[in-house]
Structure 1
Amino acid sequence: MTAPTGRAPTERADAARNRLRILDAARRRLAADGFAELSLDAVAKDAGVGVGTVYRRFRSKAGLVYSLIEDNEARFQEEFARHCADDAPSAHDRLRAFLHGLAELVEDNRELLLLAEASVPAGRYHSAPFRRHHEQIVGMLTELAPGVDAAYVADLLLMAFTPGLFDFQRTERGWDVARIKGGLDTVLAGLAETGGPARDAGGTDGAGGGSEG
């Protein structure tokens, strides 16, 4: 039921502003001190809100980390939507921009994503961002290369952004993000070239024709 006064909308606006202030403060703290030193009390002080406000909204450091990931995902989606609105890019250009944007998203949030992966190893595959990314990639692949198994290939592409693998490539292999993007471009080019008529599991084409013998 709608409140009889204008107080509720004002409270919602204040809550939204507080949330942004808390997340901004948490980002600064993480950048300066890392997760191990992250304190909800310190974040509350930096954000200029009561510590009870932080605990009620996020409950724990893990809750704050997941909220940061969700907020960064929202920003990524907004940027991708703006890209798609400019000059009606092709499916190839949209998918390339999407994959490059994901690489930058993982790079910018590597520590957060590694923390999330460590706490729930398989949780990524059940998360809303993963399902959303998979659906978006499937849509673009279906347009770009209708002959491929879009759902399976989407899983393969998303494996490139597994936090542990991405971090291994950046730290142990010493690859920069440009090299990772270049590898994704190579895969994408191959998909565009080979995405012919769809084939069923038995290797016949969509028209049901048998193999030549």
Structure 2
Amino acid sequence: MERTDLSQPAPERVDAARNRQRLLATAREMLTELGPDRITMDALAERSGLGKGTVFRRFKTRAGIFQALLDDGEYAFQERVLSGPPPLGPGAPPLERLIAYGKARVRFLIDHHDIARSALDGRQPVPARSQTPLSRMHIRMLLGQIDLGPADRDLLAVQLTAALDGPLLLYISSTELGQGEQDAERRLADGWQDIVRRVCRS
């Protein structure tokens, strides 16, 4: 699988990179202290000591702040998929890798739930971050290695990707996770495995 653009960020000027790190560090502090609802463009500018123009140029929207925070976790997750131990990483049969990917993605999204929900930009026709490039690309690659007969693998990859990221972020609340995170993870992981096994039954 080729790397997505997550692993190849565009070069930044030294001052721009410094401002980015300052803004992200400030956003993490605010997230820990205040929760996601209190993080706004204006509040981040004031807390970081940088101008509002700098914040808007860097993130464009409030959702962009959370997209940038989520990217840090995405880099590490991508490395596990590309070069980590099997079955998530290379070396296992494609069906096992596909099941392992979904289960690991469920865990990742639960761990980053508040950030990921806040990264969804509802003003867009298809909300940003409702699906990740890595998910669709990786799922499509694994489907290509499984005997599915005449199935439309491109469409299946879109549908399976949607079964992971979007519904989990949109319909499972922080309250529900707080009342039974382990049970939610188990049910989602079991559901993913059931879907994949049924889809890949030749």
Q: Same fold (TM over 0.5)?
A: yes
Q: CA deviation at 1:130?
A: 3.4
Q: Which range moved further: 59-68 or 163-172?
A: 163-172
The SS at the match of 2:103 is helix
Aligned partner of 1:110 in structure 2 is 113
Q: Work out the percentage of aligned pairs sharing the same amino acid.
A: 25
The 1:87–1:156 alpha-carbon spacing in structure 2 relative to 1, beyond 3 Å, is closer
Q: CA deviation at 1:87?
A: 6.1
Q: CA deviation at 1:81?
A: 1.4
The 1:122–1:130 alpha-carbon spacing in structure 2 relative to 1, beyond 3 Å, is farther
151, 171, 174: which one pairs with 1:165?
171
Instruction: Give unpaired runs (5+ residues) of structure 1.
Output: 1-10, 196-213
Q: Verify the 8 A CA contact 1:40 1:51 in the aligned structure 2.
A: no
The SS at the match of 2:144 is helix
Aligned partner of 2:34 in structure 1 is 33
In 1, Cα distance between the equivalents of 2:84 and 2:163?
Answer: 22
Q: Verify the 8 A CA contact 1:73 1:129 in the aligned structure 2.
A: no
TM-score (norm: length of structure 1):
0.65
4+ residue runs over 6 A deviation: none
The 1:159–1:146 alpha-carbon spacing in structure 2 relative to 1, beyond 3 Å, is same
When the two chains are superposed, the root-mean-square deviation of aligned CA atoms in Å is 3.7
Aligned partner of 2:143 in structure 1 is 141
Spell out the pairing of 1:50-65 with structure 2 (5 A cutoff): 50-51=50-51, 53-65=54-66
The 1:155–1:23 alpha-carbon spacing in structure 2 relative to 1, beyond 3 Å, is same
The 1:87–1:37 alpha-carbon spacing in structure 2 relative to 1, beyond 3 Å, is closer
TM-score (norm: length of structure 2):
0.68
In 1, Cα distance between the equivalents of 2:64 and 2:156?
Answer: 32
* Number of aligned positions between the proteins: 183
What is the one-letter code of the residue matched to 1:182? D
The 1:98–1:14 alpha-carbon spacing in structure 2 relative to 1, beyond 3 Å, is farther
Higher relative contact order (CA 8 A, sep 6+): 2
Q: CA deviation at 1:140?
A: 0.4
Instruction: Give unpaired runs (5+ residues) of structure 2.
Output: 1-11
1:175-208: CA deviation from partner (whole Å, max 9, x where unpaired) = 421221122122233344x12xxxxxxxxxxxxx
The 1:50–1:100 alpha-carbon spacing in structure 2 relative to 1, beyond 3 Å, is same
Q: CA deviation at 1:137?
A: 0.7
Aligned partner of 1:156 in structure 2 is 159
